[in-house]
Amino acid sequence: MTKIVQRKIKQINTLLSKEQTHILQTAFLLMIPTLLTKVTGQLFNLLAASYFGTQDPGWNQFIIANAIPELITNVFLAGAVGSLVIPILISAKNEGKETFYRVYSTIINLSILVFVLISVVLFISAGALIPSIINIFGGEASQNITSSDYVRIANMLRALLVPQMILGISIFVSNGINVYDRFLIPNFAPLFFNIGRILSLLIFLPILNNSPWAVIIGTYVGSILHLIIQLPLYRSLDLKWLPVVDIHSKYIKELGVLGIPRMFALASEHIVLTFNKFLAYGINQVGPSALFYANSISLVIPTLFGFTFSYASYPTLSRLFESQELNKVKDIVQKTLQEILFLALPFTMIFTAMRLPVVRLTYGLLPNTNFDLEASSQVAWILMWFSLGWVFLAGKWFMFRLFYAGKNTLIPFGVALSSLVITIILGLIFSNLMSHNNDYAISQITFTIDNFLTRGSHPAGIGGIALAMSFSYFFEFTMLLYFFHKKFIKLDLKDIFIQTFKKFLSSLIMFLIMYFIYKMWNVLSYSFPDRAGPQYRGSTTLNLAILTSITVSTGIAVYILMSALLKVEELKIFRKFLEPVFKKLKLRI
């Protein structure tokens, strides 16, 4: 028995530490930790929704306080070196380990130095910075914020700088491991980050009397686990950190030339996210939490079917660009985009048609929850507008990685900068328009010049933020695809259009059938008690889960049937790939 256990442990260790070089196979492997990460992330959000709802001022203050530390981490630690660093490290590794170690260590040391300098400035100026930013938006919510509220937000911001730096260091560890074509362990790291946050929430929230500082403790625990889980593989690969800053290295100079546009390109994306959090706070004081819950759900599909493919293909694309095998790059681009589209579209339709049941089943499950029906309607409204851009967000992530694999940062920089301006303008205009609604309904939108230019009081305005972001995803993806076709490799646009049309037609029919079925029983979406008290036994939840499952299963069956009738190529590919798995389970596909 002991030998069997030891053999199984050895097999698992081999799977986790071996090279992953086949893109489609690696993407499927990465979906496992990615899905687990999303599940545990939603579990954390469920607990947060149950404890805080959308109305808790401390929870909304935490979201605002965490916005700026997250921004500088994503820009200076994950951004300038995140995806761009891998092709540079691959080139350095080809010259030998010593060169690789010096380049790798220099990038880490310079990035942390910049982060520390900015953190010191933020630590000192937080007390004046937070009120200034919030007052820029001038919404009604800012007039109700007291000086003690500003002090709490500033203190939270200061405390959150340290775990963000730990996360940044852990990202560098992930990058080093990725250079050796190991992807599974780095993708399990976010899972352990979520586990740390969940355990801290369960342990410290009751002790601290539902204070949001329990979430800050969880951020510390999660960031440490994020790093620790990768260290054994890091050491087994003989990766080394050196206390050097070799600014004269040609690779560091290359990173400086390519990294500055890359840094600003990524900065634009995170500036928009940070801007939106403060804008939501200006629209309504519960806005940041509603936006947070909706955004958490909305990122599941793009991450599952966009991030995994772009992440898995990135080293391969880097090597192909390095060896000038452009025909292979073209094949990968066309196939990967179609595979992302084939997988993402049906889930996009599911979340769009079933947004309210999804929100209720995601955040309204626990007894005595503070996530009430008003919060459900608000989050479902925001989720609907987010869902319009999911396919384009998944494609955009892949296209950005494609340009960085080819060491071109100027085009993504120009597209990202344009998108930043467009998103901020549209975010203000669309949120103004929807803030004059009387309900969370498209029929309540009144298109007048005055509504576009003035701010109303209804929290439906936050839906305008999501719509602006979806539009920006569409803009970035189409522009990047256009420039890649014009400047790099001529794609077969006719074939892309035909294959894309087949998938959109299949998913549209799927959506219409699901929506028709849902409308027959959607009264149950609203039949939850306002709050699940001690007498609540979950029977309505069970009914809703069963009916949602039946509706979704029917929709997926329709999508597969339509894909077969329209001879969608990806259906054959995935059937062939999944057939061995089904055979082991003694099933037919």
Q: What is the DSSP string of 287-316?
A: HHHHHHHHHHHHTHHHIIIIIHHHHHHHHH
Query: What average pLDDT does range 504-514 have in this prediction?
Result: 94
Pairwise CA distance, residues 307 & 443, whole Å: 35
The verdict on residue 255 lying in a domain is: yes
Pairwise CA distance, residues 353 & 347, whole Å: 10
Pairwise CA distance, residues 152 & 157, whole Å: 9
Pairwise CA distance, residues 10 & 13, whole Å: 5
Exposed / middle / buried, residue 75 (Cβ in 10 Å: 0-12, 13-18, 19+): buried
Decide if pLDDT at 5 tops 50: no
Take residue 149 and report the two structure tokens written for it. 């509220």
pLDDT tens sequence across 324-357: 888 888 888 888 888 888 888 888 899 888 888 8
The verdict on residue 108 lying in a domain is: yes
Residue with tokens 């969370």: 440
The verdict on residue 183 lying in a domain is: yes
Neighbours of 26 (CB within 10 A): 22
Neighbours of 505 (CB within 10 A): 15
Pairwise CA distance, residues 359 & 337, whole Å: 29
pLDDT tens sequence across 149-206: 889 999 999 999 999 888 888 888 887 787 777 777 887 888 999 999 999 999 998 8
- C-beta of residue 568 within 8 angstroms of C-beta of residue 510: no
pLDDT tens sequence across 19-34: 444 555 555 666 677 7
Domains identified in the chain, total number: 1
Contacts of 161 (CB under 8 A, 6+ apart): 69, 119, 122, 123
**In this structure, what DSSP letter does residue 438 have?**
S
The verdict on residue 143 lying in a domain is: yes
Flag the least confident range among 211-220, 251-260, 533-542. Answer: 533-542
Compute the Cα dihedral for 351, 355, 357, 359 and give only its sign.
Answer: positive
Flag the least confident range among 417-421, 472-476, 543-547. Answer: 543-547
Give residue 329's identity as a one-letter amino acid code. Answer: V
Contacts of 14 (CB under 8 A, 6+ apart): none
Give residue 581's identity as a one-letter amino acid code. Answer: V
Instruction: Give ∠ CA 155-161-164 in degrees, rounded to 5.
Output: 140
Pairwise CA distance, residues 84 & 183, whole Å: 16
* Helical pair 147-179 and 213-228, crossing angle rounded to 10 deg: 10
Take residue 110 and report the two structure tokens written for it. 């310079």
Query: What average pLDDT does range 424-453 have in this prediction?
Result: 90
Take residue 321 and report the two structure tokens written for it. 């660009």
| Domain containing residue 78 | 65-284
- C-beta of residue 376 within 8 angstroms of C-beta of residue 360: yes
The verdict on residue 30 lying in a domain is: no
Contacts of 304 (CB under 8 A, 6+ apart): 31, 34, 35, 38, 343, 347
pTM given for the model: 0.78
Q: Which residues of 540-558 are buried (b: 16+ CB within 10 A; e: fewer)?
A: bbeebeebbeebbeebbeb
Nearest of 378, 363, 476 to residue 418 by alpha carbon: 476
Name the percent of the chain in helix, strand, coil, to the closest 5.
80, 0, 20
The verdict on residue 99 lying in a domain is: yes
- C-beta of residue 258 within 8 angstroms of C-beta of residue 407: yes
pLDDT tens sequence across 45-90: 888 888 888 888 889 889 989 988 888 777 766 554 555 576 677 7
Query: What average pLDDT does range 358-386 have in this prediction?
Result: 85
Decide if pLDDT at 211 tops 60: yes
Pairwise CA distance, residues 534 & 302, whole Å: 37
Take residue 536 and report the two structure tokens written for it. 């609540």
Pairwise CA distance, residues 69 & 355, whole Å: 31
- C-beta of residue 32 within 8 angstroms of C-beta of residue 194: no
Query: What average pLDDT does range 444-468 have in this prediction?
Result: 89
Decide if pLDDT at 4 tops 50: no
Pairwise CA distance, residues 134 & 137, whole Å: 6
- C-beta of residue 196 within 8 angstroms of C-beta of residue 42: no
Q: What 3 state SS string does 347-374 have?
A: HHHHHHHCHHHHHHHHHCCCCCCCCCHH
Compute the Cα dihedral for 422, 428, 429, 430 and give only its sign.
Answer: positive
- C-beta of residue 103 within 8 angstroms of C-beta of residue 92: yes
Question: With bands split at pLDDT 50, 70 and 90, how would you rate the model's confidence at 532?
Answer: very low
Query: What average pLDDT does range 87-108 have in this prediction?
Result: 79
Contacts of 188 (CB under 8 A, 6+ apart): 16, 33, 36, 229
Q: Which residues of 38-61 are buried (b: 16+ CB within 10 A; e: fewer)?
A: bebbbbbbbbbbbbbbbebbbbbb
Task: Give start and end residues of each alpha helix (H) in 53-96.
Answer: 57-72, 85-93
Longest dimension (CA), the chain: 75
Exposed / middle / buried, residue 174 (Cβ in 10 Å: 0-12, 13-18, 19+): buried
pLDDT tens sequence across 102-130: 888 888 788 788 888 988 999 999 888 88
Neighbours of 202 (CB within 10 A): 12
The verdict on residue 161 lying in a domain is: yes
Take residue 341 and report the two structure tokens written for it. 């589209």
Q: In terms of pLDDT, which residue wins out, 56 or 509?
A: 509
Q: In terms of pLDDT, which residue wins out, 288 or 1?
A: 288
Decide if pLDDT at 305 tops 80: no
pLDDT at 401: 83
The verdict on residue 215 lying in a domain is: yes
pLDDT at 274: 85
Pairwise CA distance, residues 219 & 201, whole Å: 10
Query: What average pLDDT does range 458-467 have in this prediction?
Result: 90
